[in-house]
Amino acid sequence: MATNSVVQANVIDLKPEQIRHDLLRPVFHTSRRYYALVFFLVAFGLPGIFAYMYQMSRGMSVAGITRPVFWGFYITNFVFWIGISHAGTLISAILRLVNATWRRPVTRCAEAITVFALAIGAQYPIIHLGRSWLFFWLVPYPSERGIWPNFRSPLVWDFFAISTYLTGSVTFLLLPIIPDWAMVRDRATGLRTRIYTVLALGWRGTPREWHRLEMAMRIMAVVILPVAVSVHTIVSWDFAMAPVPMWHSTVFGPYFVAGAIFSGIAALIVAMALLRKLLHLEEYLKPSHFDNLGKLLLVMSLLWLYFIFAERLTVWYGNQPSEMAAFLSIQRGRFAVLFWTMIFCNFLIPFPILAIKKLRTIAGTVIASSTIVVGMWLERFLIVVPPLEHKNLPYDWGSYRPTWVEITITVGTLTGMILLYVLFAKFVPIISIWELKGGQHARPLPDQPQAAVSRAGVRLNSTLSSSINAIYGLFPDSNSARRAVAAFRAESSRLRIKPQAIVIMSSEPLEEEGFGWKEQRTPMPWLAPLGALLGGAGGYALAAFTQRTYPLPTGNMPIVAMWPTGIIMYELTMFGAIFTTIVTFLISARLPNYGKRLYDREVTNGKILVGVADPDRDCSGEIEQRLQREGAEQVKEFSND
Amino acid sequence: MAHRWGMVIDLDRCTGCETCVAACHAENNIATVGAEQAARGRAMHWIHVERYWDGEFPNVRARFQPVLCQQCDAAPCEPVCPTYASYHNPDGLNAQVYNRCIGTRYCANACPYTARYFNWSNPVWDKPLNLQLNPDVSIREAGVMEKCTFCSQRILAAEIQAKAENREINEGEFSPACVKSCPTTAMVFGNLDNPTSQVSRLVRSIRATTLLSDVGTLPKVTYLERESSHGNE
């Protein structure tokens, strides 16, 4: 009984019309409060842009970074945002793979955090550059400078990892949005129609499209996981590759990944709570979602504590003078206050809240998550700054204090992130409508006599039948639609219907039985690994051949060094899989297609369209009758003119 | 005619007079940053003299150690650079190509000697220093890294001269500004690949040591420890 009630707590027990109404409302209706919020965010974000321009014109001297603390707030923010970006894809990909149904209202909020946190985080290495305007020199392309990037540099690994992750997570976010954009398109008027018509790529909701979409998402969920892990590992290697005391550590990879997921879930919970409040999504983001994510957060909090303990114990026990200087400055010196604040924020406050069921409410998890977000920022700061203040030679020690420029830019990007998120929630239903409905199939209706079906709708005009390209009916539920399909297939020879002429469209993926036929066969799952192999080979070619062509030695390393080349190959392997999946999806789902094709807006209202393309003129009347007999609410004709 | 340029600094001879620092600034067009920026740690000295105090007050003794880029054979600054601004040139020196530098400052973090300097703002020279800029050395703009080059412009000049006269570079034919200016000849410069050169002999001295040898950077700057540090003061 208890398990049953938990299951019930996750179920969103609303009518489809209600769901569409609730979730599309923010796209169509903009309140004054919304404009005020956007104005407020822009007002707080703009000074950041001016501060950045000021920094570019005056030089980095306006920032607080100095010798020997060459990295400060910017790199802290970089690591922080890339960490936050692990909210979406990881959680949503894992939950998709294990088919956890409660994920459905959560995935899109999470994936959007990933994309925007990445977009913001990736700005920081550029803001941080002494000559920002030359950042593109990290991009591998044959240039007039006769030189390629140094594939042994962790910053180049960063470029590859973040580009791959950004491509992957944008794909992961956008693919399931296409049907929802089609839904917006069918309801919009004026300029919105034109915008969403382009965005929806001509999506109609045929079984083929649904199948390819779900296949692409399945492949992407598998591909995105190793990419996400590699991204924060490589970010950690920015530090671990340098022989700086307390940086040069093998634990950094997993430690950073754990911290990233930790802060990512915390950010997701805060974002979900805000969306719930502001967009009135109480019926969708339920306490049970916060409860589930709270448990996940609890596990990550313990894992984080484990890592930080393991890291610090090793340093303390090793007792190397160079490391101990940085260690003690964090533990007892100038940074002790920040360190203990971090322990409070990341463990002492959230642990009891998340561990005690009574406290693991929406308010409880939000409090815990807010402290964790702050605590994780401090953690990144404590990784970046104190070791640089205490490098190997004591006379090179120094201290760092941020200036208003760094603080303004930090605030600016925080508001920029929120602004992007707020705008996104305006253009896209923030909860995936079709996936939400997929979670709870309508109970099959008992077979009804056809007489009860109303025949409202279009009057059939037989005189025009010479120019008819299709005849279709709109069915209220999948049972009647399936009967119609079965009838057409059974009598295909008599009604002169070619098998591929039967057209089906729906606003959610239909069960396979009775609907899909040849649509279920696609080489996509085979092409993705093939693309991956090609990507990996391309990665080797890129890294190895360019370095042999311009053999510039660095750091006593071989010209083509195995380990760094492996990293480039890894990222391009994943990029190959992602790229192939995008391309094979578009080709095999036959998107985008903006031509005039058989379609009816009622499809995104929940009706199921069953039609016959190019009907034989003599049989069209019988086809129409058949559609009506099987339960079509409306029967219409479509012509291409 | 490959060279492996190296330097030996005899700490017993160093008096901490900082002539090398002044000579380096003059030779290499190193900008002065002003008192306020210097107080914030932005001063640039490709070579700087570190002072160690031995003993407790009042029985203290000062020891000096000039520190410059150690021109490591396994330099941590080089592989981390994404644009090859920091790379190993054919003479085995850690070259810094200013035009390739985009200012990630990664090399400066990776350098265990913190021997690299960043141009936090565009360079300025207090008058009348602006009148003595060296035409052989390029000026670095804001946003790029710079560091000791072993006076690569002098190396290049000597190489060109030797090539024009179709001969090898002679021992002691040239030396970097710091070596040249050292009044106590505490610094010696030469070709480590030539077993008879003075640097090669001194590198084999029992007093020879390198800075932070445990980091494994294989520096080409060798220090001769003070006799006094062995206890025979």
Query: Out of A135, A137, A555, whose CB is closest to B78?
Result: A555
B 3-32 → A contacts, CB under 8 A = none
CATH architecture of B5-227: 2-Layer Sandwich (3.30)
Per-residue model confidence (pLDDT) at position A550:
87
Per-residue model confidence (pLDDT) at position B176:
97
Query: Out of B41, B80, B82, whose CB is closest to A242?
Result: B80
Which of A443-452, A632-641, B162-171 holds the top average pLDDT?
Answer: B162-171
Mean pLDDT to the nearest integer, A490-505: 87
- Among candidate residues A115, A109, A19, A24, the one with its CA nearest the CA of residue A426: A24
Question: Kindly report the CA angle at A123 between A116 and A231, in degrees rounded to 5?
Answer: 70
Average pLDDT, chain A: 90
CA distance A483 to A446: 12
Mean pLDDT to the nearest integer, B152-170: 94
Per-residue model confidence (pLDDT) at position A4:
45
* Structure token digits, residue A242: 């340098």
Per-residue model confidence (pLDDT) at position B1:
53
Query: Out of B82, B109, B142, whose CB is closest to A70?
Result: B109
Contacts of A393 in chain B (CB under 8 A): 50, 67, 112-114, 211-212
Contacts (Cβ under 8 Å, ≥6 apart) of A427? A27
Average pLDDT, chain B: 92
ipTM of predicted assembly, 2 dp: 0.93
Query: Out of B42, B80, B87, whose CB is closest to A154?
Result: B80
Across the strands, what pairs with B117?
B146
CATH of the domain spanning A460-508+606-638:
3.30.70.120
Q: Are A242 and B110 inside 8 Å of each other by CB? A: yes
Using the predicted structure, report yes or no on whether residue A439 has a pLDDT greater than 80: no
Q: Are A135 and B102 inside 8 Å of each other by CB? A: yes
Per-residue model confidence (pLDDT) at position A6:
47
Per-residue model confidence (pLDDT) at position A419:
95
Per-residue model confidence (pLDDT) at position A454:
41
At residue B104 the predicted structure's pLDDT band, cuts being 50, 70 and 90, is very high
Question: Is residue A399 within 8 Å of residue A385, measured between CB atoms?
Answer: no
Alpha helical stretches, state H, A441-593? 478-490, 492-495, 524-549, 562-588
Mean pLDDT to the nearest integer, A447-456: 42
Per-residue model confidence (pLDDT) at position A567:
97
Give A144→chain B minimum CA distance, Å.
13
Per-residue model confidence (pLDDT) at position A436:
83
- What percent of chain B lies above the pLDDT cut of 90? 81
Mean pLDDT to the nearest integer, B168-197: 94
Interface-testing mutation among B78, B86, B124, with chain A (most A C-beta atoms within 10 A): B78
CA distance A44 to A50: 11
Contacts of B102 in chain A (CB under 8 A): 129-131, 134-135, 137-138
* Structure token digits, residue A454: 């109303």
Segments making up each domain of chain A, as ranges? 243-399, 460-508+606-638, 524-588
- Among candidate residues A354, A358, A363, the one with its CA nearest the CA of residue A277: A363
The per-residue pLDDT for range A225-252, each reduced to its tens digit, is: 999 999 999 999 999 999 999 999 999 9
Using the predicted structure, report yes or no on whether residue A466 has a pLDDT greater than 60: no
Per-residue model confidence (pLDDT) at position A463:
45
Interface-testing mutation among A62, A138, A150, with chain B (most B C-beta atoms within 10 A): A150
Mean pLDDT to the nearest integer, A620-634: 89
The per-residue pLDDT for range A351-408, each reduced to its tens digit, is: 999 999 999 999 999 999 999 999 999 999 999 999 999 999 999 999 999 999 999 9
Using the predicted structure, report yes or no on whether residue A446 has a pLDDT greater than 90: no
What is the DSSP secondary-structure string of A141-163?
---TT-----TTSHHHHHHHHHH
Q: Which residue from B minimizes the CA distance to A237?
A: B80
Mean pLDDT to the nearest integer, B193-209: 94
The per-residue pLDDT for range A122-134, each reduced to its tens digit, is: 999 999 999 999 9
At residue A100 the predicted structure's pLDDT band, cuts being 50, 70 and 90, is confident
Per-residue model confidence (pLDDT) at position A3:
45
The per-residue pLDDT for range A293-351, each reduced to its tens digit, is: 999 999 999 999 999 999 999 999 999 999 999 999 999 999 999 999 999 999 999 99
- What percent of chain A lies above the pLDDT cut of 90? 71
Give B233→chain A minimum CA distance, Å.
25
Q: Which residue from A minimizes the CA distance to B51?
A: A395
Using the predicted structure, report yes or no on whether residue A445 has a pLDDT greater than 80: no
Per-residue model confidence (pLDDT) at position A489:
87
CA distance A277 to A37: 14
Segments making up each domain of chain B, as ranges? 5-227
The per-residue pLDDT for range A175-220, each reduced to its tens digit, is: 999 999 999 999 998 999 999 999 999 999 998 999 999 999 999 9
- What percent of chain A lies above the pLDDT cut of 70? 92
The per-residue pLDDT for range B118-136, each reduced to its tens digit, is: 999 999 888 888 899 999 9
CA distance A440 to A461: 39
At residue A452 the predicted structure's pLDDT band, cuts being 50, 70 and 90, is very low
The per-residue pLDDT for range B83-93, each reduced to its tens digit, is: 999 999 988 99
Question: Is residue A28 within 8 Å of residue A187, measured between CB atoms?
Answer: yes
The per-residue pLDDT for range B19-37, each reduced to its tens digit, is: 999 999 999 999 989 899 9
Residue A410 one-letter amino acid: T
Q: Are B121 and A130 inside 8 Å of each other by CB? A: no
Interface-testing mutation among B63, B104, B111, B221, with chain A (most A C-beta atoms within 10 A): B104
Across the strands, what pairs with B7?
B189, B221
